[in-house]
Amino acid sequence: MHAEDRHKAILRQVRQRGSVRVSELAAGLGASTATVRKDVQVLSERGLVVRVHGGAALPENWSETVRSEQVSDSAAASSGRRLTFGLVVPSANYYYPELIKGAQEAAEAGGIRLALRISEYDAGQERVQAAELVEDGVDGLLLAPTGAEPDASRQWYEELGVPVVLVERGQAREGASIDFVVSDHVFGARKAVEHLLEVGRRRVGLLVRGATPTVPWLREGYAAGMRQAGVELPEDISFIDLGFERQGNPSYDLPMDTFLEAVESRRLDAVIVHPDTEAVVLLQRLRSRSISVPSDLAIVSYDDEFARIADVALSAVAPAKYDVGASAVELLALRLAEPSRSRRRTFILPELHVRFSSDL
């Protein structure tokens, strides 16, 4: 069983029972107690469980969430209906299926109905769908806004009249007074840099496909990791953006050729690539130029959607998408139970999965 699957199974057991022993988890998962102890340590570092003697338990804030959900359920039951949360995300493909699954399972566990809408990265449609969900009577919204947010004292989703929790968004608005749950991509990028430096690489670059909302945080984490290690960024090739066009278009091919030439001339010996799909395509380009992975170029991809099944198994940073979805539902339930409570910013740490592409 993969580590991510074990983590989900452990969380389900802890949430259902409140606490569980490592020996019981190991027997149920068919894993060694040492492996499960390590899993519990990882979940503890992410704030999802508390390590106790011989096992794992819910943190105090989780217990508070469960109690609040029970209060919310009781309030809904007294009015003769279940709570309903709307969930608006840009896509049901690639990054979001695990996030949706986490939200769905957390909602079901809390007796909450989840209504899903897909905006297809259309900001106008996103607003329409959110407004329609409110009109249909949802009690609150989970929302992953599309694109960059303009500077403003309040955003459109703060005027909807129902509680809103931002999902995988919010870091760009440090002054915003709104709940959000996000993957800590700054931490994820730093983790990738630290790993590449640990395996002896020094000329590390960052290659991205288009200006997604994740990219600014990857750039920040990448630069911070390099600075902390006292390693200078490779001049003019530290950050290469391939844009949104396809192969065969000059706006894509020119920066890609710049990157490949930097590898051939040994100005780069490692790279962090976002997203996974671009890392898979990159492997083909490297092979056509007889550039070997990992001896000539070590690679860490970002998102870990397809990295395991690439032609060369790719090391990857894996955001905890399932946990982001589940935590967002729990935060929204808590907001409904206690409308006056202080706003919450929840950062969930990604994990680094080391595979052949950087395992030297």
pLDDT score for 172 = 45
Do residues 220 and 166 touch, judged by C-beta distance below 8 A? no
Task: Give me the phi and psi of 156, to 5 degrees please.
Answer: -55, -35
Asked if the model's pLDDT at residue 67 lies above 90, the reply is no
240-267 exposure pattern, b = at least 16 Cβ within 10 A, e = fewer? bbbbeeeeeeeebeebbeebbebbeeee
For residue 270, give the H/E element and its range.
strand 270-274
Please list, in sequence order, all residues whose beta carbon lies within 8 angstroms of the beta carbon of residue 78, skipping any fewer than 6 positions away: none
pLDDT score for 148 = 52
pLDDT score for 60 = 65
Q: Which two three-digit tokens encode residue 280? A: 């898979």
Do residues 322 and 101 touch, judged by C-beta distance below 8 A? yes
Class of domain 3-58: mainly alpha
pLDDT score for 359 = 83
pLDDT score for 78 = 41
Q: What is the mean pLDDT of residues 28-32?
A: 89
Percent of the chain with pLDDT over 70: 89
Asked if the model's pLDDT at residue 151 lies above 80, the reply is no
Please list, in sequence order, all residues whose beta carbon lies within 8 angstroms of the beta carbon of residue 283, skipping any fewer than 6 positions away: 293, 299, 310, 311, 312, 314
Cα–Cα distance measured from residue 177 to residue 153, given in angstroms and rounded to the nearest whole number: 10
Predicted confidence band at 77 (pLDDT cuts at 50, 70, 90)? very low
pLDDT score for 244 = 85
pLDDT tens digit string along 112-143? 999 999 999 898 999 999 999 999 999 999 99
pLDDT tens digit string along 210-255? 878 899 999 999 999 999 999 988 878 999 999 888 888 888 999 9
Asked if the model's pLDDT at residue 186 lies above 60, the reply is yes
pLDDT score for 146 = 81
Cis peptide before 294 (omega within 30 of 0): yes
The CA–CA distances, whole Å, from 249 to 246, 255, 257 equal: 6, 11, 12
pLDDT tens digit string along 152-174? 546 788 888 999 999 997 644 45
pLDDT score for 68 = 46
Asked if the model's pLDDT at residue 79 lies above 70, the reply is no
Q: What is the CA radius of gyration of the chain?
A: 22
pLDDT tens digit string along 272-304? 999 999 999 999 999 999 999 999 999 999 999
Residue intervals of the chain classified under CATH 3.40.50.2300 are 82-183+320-349, 185-319+354-358
Asked if the model's pLDDT at residue 326 lies above 70, the reply is yes
| Superfamily (CATH) of domain 185-319+354-358 | Response regulator (3.40.50.2300)
Fold of the domain built from segment(s) 82-183+320-349: Rossmann fold (3.40.50)
Residue intervals of the chain classified under CATH 1.10.10.10 are 3-58
Asked if the model's pLDDT at residue 23 lies above 70, the reply is yes
Residue with tokens 């992410």: 46
| pTM of the predicted structure, to 2 decimals | 0.76
Which residue did the predictor score with more confidence, 327 or 8?
327
Asked if the model's pLDDT at residue 99 lies above 70, the reply is yes
pLDDT score for 66 = 46
